[in-house]
Amino acid sequence: MTTREMPRRHFTDFSLPRQLWEGFGCAALAGVVSGLTLTAALWLYLATAGLAAVAGLPAATQHRTLRGALIRTTVGGSVWAGAVLLAAIATGTASTLPTPDPVVYLLLTTVPATAAGWIVWTWTNRSSALAPAAALGN
Q: Where are the domains of the chain?
A: 23-129
pLDDT for the residue 5: 56
> Can you give the pTM of this predicted structure?
0.81
Distance of CA 138 to CAs 3, 69, 91, 124, 125, Å? 21, 29, 59, 19, 18
Average pLDDT over every residue of 35-62: 90
Task: Report how far residue 92's alpha carbon sits from residue 80's, in angstroms, rounded to the nearest whole number.
Answer: 19
Tell me what pLDDT residue 11 has: 86
DSSP 4: T
Question: Average pLDDT, stretch 1-8?
Answer: 57
Q: Has residue 136 got a pLDDT over 50?
A: no
Average pLDDT, the chain: 85
Of 102, 98, 94, the C-alpha closest to 78 is: 102
| Mean pLDDT across 18-41 | 93
CA angle 24, 29, 34 (to 5 degrees): 125
In this prediction, residue 97 carries a pLDDT of 78
